[in-house]
Structure formats: structure tokens, C-alpha cells
Structure 1
Amino acid sequence: MTMEEIFKGTKSFKQEVFEKVQVELNQFGLLIYNANVKQLVDVSGHEYFSYLGQKTQQEAANQAKVDVAEARMKGAIGAKQRDGETQKNAAKIDAETTVYTTQRIGEGKKEEVKVRSEVKIYENQREAEVSEANAELATKKAGWDRQAKVAELEADKAVAIREAELQMEVEKKNAVRQTEKLKAELLSKATVNYEMKVQEANWELYKKQKIAEAALYEQEKEAEGRRAQAEAAFFARQQQADGELYAKKKEAEGMIALAEAQGLYLRKLLESLGGNYSALRDYLLITNGTYSEMARINAEAMKGLQPKISVWTNGGTETADRGQSSNGAMQEVAGVYRMLPPLFETVQEQTGMLPPPWMGKLTNSSGN
């Protein structure tokens, strides 16, 4: 089809397109139930369809003029051909010709008005489509701007989040490094203390060896002057000195082994407690009887003060002066565990130390 045929016969063009497309879709089992073909419009600078509309309008006007001229020609020819007829037929023909001419002129004017109306309608539709396209373009631009701003904001937030994550990793690394450094320092101190203890033990052993050697030398010198009478005594003393030297050596070796065992013991305890030095300290204080010694010292410090001692039992609180006996001894024994919180408070007030977590936890008067 030509462009003029497409422009004038939109329905025929639509049907032609659907038939061609349906042929291709049949091989996929698809069927077109309904479809629309967008109206042909001009682009800026190329008013082809506008000119086609003007052309159609002008052709209609020209056709009307041709029809009028043809009617006049037929009227004139008919008048000439029927010149010989009667005046009645001539008058009748003239009248019919006049009526026909007037009708044709009216129809021509109607067609002209109709074409102008169609052109005006087409122009209005064109303006509406342009306005709609402009509105759609503005809407899309606004959406693109919004998407760009959202993407930019998301990128900024992603960068900030990544920076926070990296900072967190750095802080974790620093914490691990500080922990390792503290462990190394404590291990170094423990190693130095161990080496110092070993050196001290070696020095004590060396001094004892020198003392023993000096004694042995002195005894040898004395034995040389009294060889005959002192050989037995000298031998006995020499055996005794050897025994003492051997005992001292064994004692030194035992001290060294004990120091190594204690070091290994402390390391194993620290590993078992997950590197918690506070828990290790509390454990050592308990096993070494530090708390018992503190209680003994506090008890001795209170001698002669005649304090009032409160004993918490199942039956309430009993107060007795020092040196007086109180009733319910078995109840007091049964209430030993109830005496632990006041004891812990006393130790905490006087020494500032808290009991280990596995023994209990002090609470204030409100129960917190």
C-alpha cells in the first residue's frame, strides 16, 4: 500500500497488518484477538500527512467544481440537443437543470465544510497528542531524576556502611593485638621471675658447694696432721659432707622442678580459665588460704574490743557479748551459710576485695 492508501484507508491498512502478523504467529500457536494501530502523525519539520489532508480537502473542492461544471455542460448540451422539442419539455429541462445545479453547489459546500471540520479535528487531536507526549516526557524526567538521587544516596550510605565495617575490623585487630601484647608481657614477666628463681637456687647451691668444699679442705688439712688417729673420723665426716652435698643438690633440683611445675600449673590454670587473670587470682587466694588468714587477722584485731556479734540463724538475729554463751548452737551451725553474706561485706569493706563469682555475689539492700 502507498502512503496515501494507508492514510485514507486506515481500516484496510490495519486489517492488512493483522493478517500478515497472524501468519507469523500461527507457527507459535498464538492468536490476535484485538490490536490497535496508532494514528499516523507528522514529525517536526515534515508535515507530510498535513499536506495529504490539505490535498484531500482541495481534491474534494475541485471535484465539486468539476461536478458543477459538468452539470452546466450537460445542461447546455441538453438544451442544444432538445432545441427542437417542445417549449414544455425545454422549460422542464431548464427547471430540472437549475435544481440539479443548486443541489450540486450545496453538496460541494457541504463537502468543503466537512473537510474543514475533519482537518480542524485532526489538528486538535495532534495538539492533544503533543501535549500528552510532553507530559509523559516530563513525568519520565522526574522519575529519572528521583532514581538518580536515590541511587546517589544509596551509594553514599553504602560507602558510610563500608567505612564503619572497616573501622570495626581495625578496632577488632587493635583489641586482638593489645590482648596478645598483654599476654606476651605477662608471659615475659613470668619467664623472668622463673629464671630469677632458678638463678637464686643455683647461687644458693653454689654457695653451699663452696662452703662444703671449704669445710672439706679444712678437714683434709686437719687430717694431714692427725692422719693416724683421725682417718676413721675424717672418712665419716667426708661421707656426711657428701651426703649433705647430695641432699642440697637434690633439694635444689626439687626446687627447680617445683618452680617448673608451678609455672606449668599456672599456665594450665590460666588456659583452663580462658585467660581470665581475675578468676586465677581468686582461685589462688582461696587455695592458699588467703581468705582464712584474713578472717583470722580480723578476728585477732577485734580481740579486747568487746564487739557485738550478730549471728543470723533460722530463728532470727541473736546478739551476745563476747565471752557469753548463746542458745541454739545447732541452729547457728545450720545457719553458717547465712553468715557468709555479712562476712563477704566485712571483707569487702575492710580490704576492698570481692568474693570470686563462683562463691557468690553481693547485692545491695534493694536486692540489686
Structure 2
Amino acid sequence: MKIVKLDARLSNFPVQTCTRFDLSPENYTVEVQAMSAEKLPFILPAVFTIGPRADDRESLLKYAKFISAHDKQSNHVNELVQGIIEGETRVLAASMTMEEVFKGTKEFKQTVFKKVQLELNQFGLLIYNANVKQLVDVPGHEYFSYLGQKTQMEAANQARVDVSEAKMKGEIGSKLREGQTRQNAAKIDAETKVISLQRAGESDKEGIKVRTEVKVFENKREAEVAEANSELAKKKGAWTKAAQVAEVEAAKAVALREAELQGEVET
């Protein structure tokens, strides 16, 4: 508990007076019955934690002047705080439709806090915390219940639509993937066939080249063999002719020798 002492600043008098008060905040529970622009009533249950603004001397002076003389939980303070909260909430609610209040609950609450704080400033009070519960219907005017049911039905319908769309997208995506898979497979098959034909053509070209080279080599060898045979035949002819000449020469030599010998015998 923090106690603050404010001087009365009566420096010209021998005796000065002072006021002591507690700075700890208090909780104030309210249930504001407000009405929208369409004259539809509703209840705003809330708990405000309110206390003196401890960080501002001017606010402390205001609090000391207007509030400190009363107990925090006194009817005077409770009625003051509750009156400010109810008044600002009702004024704000009267300027909004029920649907605006329902859809903008967060903004509505924040605006209420700001307006209430502006009024509390003149008493040196500060909202330290504020918790607002769910807006409640007044018996006989179940507007929020109907809106909640409507929202739930819309959400359920939207969920079914989303599921149907997701399912449809899934089926379409599956068909697209299946088609793409087939197209890719066909493309790969075609490319494979082209590559196979290219390789087959290259293989045939290589085979033709090899066979051509082999044929050229064989023809060359045959030509060389033919030339060798021709050369051999020529040599054989020359050899045969030389042998015949030699044989004739030998026969002539024998005949001549025999003639010589015969001549010698006759001599």
C-alpha cells in the first residue's frame, strides 16, 4: 500500500494541514444496460480496475480534492465510476447499430475505455485494467444469440463450400498431375525413341564405315595379290625361258663336245 502526502502549501501559517490517501487501485464490477441505434437493448458486463494516477501530481491533486475524502468502496465512488462507465457506454451504443456492435466488439470495447478514461481524468483516476465479457442479450431480445447462430450457420456453410472447393481443386489437381505425368511419360518415350534412332543411325553409319574400310582393304589386298601373282607369273615365264635357253645351250654344248670328241676319234 502506497501512501501519498500532499502539502497544503500554507507556508505563512505555523500549522499546515495535509491529506493522506491510498494509491492502490480497486476493482469495480458493472453490468451496463445499453441500447443500440435500432432501440435494441443489450448488457455489457465488465470489470474495471481503477485507481489514482500515481505518476502525475496534478492528477493526484484532483483525486485528493474530489475523491480522497470518500472511501474507495463507498457508494459515492461506486456511483461515480459506474455512472461514468454506463453513461459513455450508452452514448456510444446509441450511435451504432447492433450489427456494428456485434461485429466490431473489440473496437467497441476499446472506444468505451477511451471515453471512460477521458471522463475519469477530471477526477485524477486511471483505468489500470479493464476486462469486458461477452455482450449479453436482454431477456426477450435474443439478438446476439440469433447473430451467433447466424454466424455459426454461415461459418458451417462456408466450411462446406470450402471443403467442396478443396475437394474439387484436389480432383482437378489430381487429373492435372495425371495428365502431366502422361505427357511427361510420352515426351520421355518420344525423346528415348529419337535418341535410340539417332544411336541406331550412328551405329549403322559406323558399321557402313567399317564395312567400307574393310572392303577397301580387301580390294587393296586383292590388288596387291593380283599384282604379286602377275609379277610371279612374269618371273616364272622369265625363269622358264632362261631354263629353256640354258637347256638349248647345254644341248648345243653337248652336241658340240660330242662333235669335237668324234673329230678327235676320227683323227
Give the shorter-chain TM-score range: 0.3 to 0.5
User: Higher strand fraction: Structure 1 or Structure 2?
Assistant: 2
User: Higher helix fraction: Structure 1 or Structure 2?
Assistant: 1
TM-score (norm: length of structure 1): 0.32
